[in-house]
Structure formats: structure tokens, C-alpha cells
Amino acid sequence: MENTPPDHSLSVGVSFGDCDPAGIVFYPNFFRWFDRCFHHFLAARAGGHAELCARLGALGVGLMDVQAQFRAPVRENCTLTLDLRVREWRGRALRLGYEGHVGDTLCVTGEEVRGLFVMREGRMAAGEMAPLRAALGL
């Protein structure tokens, strides 16, 4: 568990339909929640993804690389508290860390590497991160 305060936090109520026949969260849902937390962070800092993309002339702040470690099972009716930390600004990529707790138990950790996708010569390409960083005031 990290000691620096998170850049953003989001509470997720885990529901029956998020779980699989083994009775625990179907793992792709953790990525839906990472993504949800990131978009919540964009909404809090810069009016949301759509507004941000319009301002920056981008198609999206999309995924290049992602990983997660599942440390303890999460079940229906739990509240998962997700913490997001901006870990690194690279020239054309942003690295984000996630931690998810249920109570005091660390259940999931993960990392997303995102790019600012723009159209260049008819295809999607990763643009410079500096305008996104400025828009987020970070």
C-alpha cells in the first residue's frame, strides 16, 4: 500500500451482477472500475473526457498497457474504495497506479499506461502529453 495521498478516489458498490458463478467479482470488472475512476478524475479536474478531447483535438485518452494483481476476492455488497495515483508523465504516455481496498484489505492493485490519441495522416496515433497535463493542472 502506498503512502502518498491519492490523486483521486472513487467508491464502487459491488453488486450481484458484477460477480461470476464462483461468487466473486468477474475480473474484467476491475478494469471497468479503473476506467471509471480515471474518467471520474477527469470530470473532477477538467470537465470530463468529452470536453477535454474537444479542447485538445483528441479522440480519447486511451489505453496502451494495463496490468492488475488480484490479492483478495471481492464479493457482492462489498464497497471497493479505489485510489488513483498519477505515477509518471512521459512524453507520449501517462502512467497511473490503482489500489482497491475493501475495508482494510488490499484486494486489487494495478497500473494503466494511457496515451492521448489523435488522428495523424488518417490513423490513430499517440500525441504529446504536455497539453493534457496542463489541462489537468498537474
Shorter beta-carbon distance to a copy of itself: residue 2 or 20: 20
> Considering the complex, what minimum distance in angstroms separates the CB of residue 61 from a copy of itself?
9
> Could you identify the residue written with the cell 473526457?
49
Helices (H), 47-111: 49-56
> Considering the complex, what minimum distance in angstroms separates the CB of residue 2 from a copy of itself?
18
C-beta separation of 17 from 25 below 8 A: no
Binding residues for a copy of itself, rule: CB under 8 A, are 13, 15-17, 19-24, 26-29, 31-32, 35-36, 39-40, 43, 48-50, 59-60, 62-70, 73, 76-77, 117, 124
Shorter beta-carbon distance to a copy of itself: residue 50 or 138: 50
> Could you identify the residue written with the cell 477535454?
52
* Separation CA 35–CA 20 (nearest Å): 20
C-beta separation of 98 from 84 below 8 A: yes
Shorter beta-carbon distance to a copy of itself: residue 4 or 62: 62
Cell triple for 136: 489537468
Shorter beta-carbon distance to a copy of itself: residue 74 or 129: 74
